[in-house]
Amino acid sequence: DAGVTQSPTHLIKTRGQQVTLRCSPKSGHDTVSWYQQALGQGPQFIFQYYEEEERQRGNFPDRFSGHQFPNYSSELNVNALLLGDSALYLCASSERLAGNTDTQYFGPGTRLTVL
């Protein structure tokens, strides 16, 4: 049973470009959250998707947008890239079920470098 998978592993872009990162949740999970982790810092919550809608959002500008597909996979889009967007982007999945005793699972991340 595959865990959370993300693609690509690494990505290099230049300022002003747009990027799309992808995430497939763990089998049986229906909720996907995205985090940004700058070097030396803890992950910062970007937003969460459930039932193909954004349910929670962290303190990130509108340049960051997302999508969830009917198969629960998700995309993170970042427009007008800035140097400060260089980071490890993490996807976490979970099952939004009352009484669920399992925890969130993180993927390996996508390392984005903006030049």
How crowded is residue 109: how many other Cβ atoms within 10 Å of its Cβ?
A: 21
27 or 56, CB closer to other proteins?
56
**Closer CB to other proteins, 24 or 48, in the complex:** 48
- Nearest approach in angstroms of CB 83 to other proteins is 20
| Main-chain dihedrals φ then ψ at residue 114, nearest 5 degrees | -110, 120
Q: Which residues bind other proteins (CB under 8 A)?
A: 4, 31-33, 35, 40-45, 48, 50, 56, 58, 88, 90-98, 100-109, 111
**Which string of DSSP letters, residue by residue, matches 73-101?**
-EEEEE-S--GGG-EEEEEEEE---TT--
Q: Rounded distance, CA 98 to CA 62, Å? A: 31
- 80 vs 97, which CB is nearer to other proteins? 97
Q: How far is the CB of 25 from other proteins (least distance, A)?
A: 10
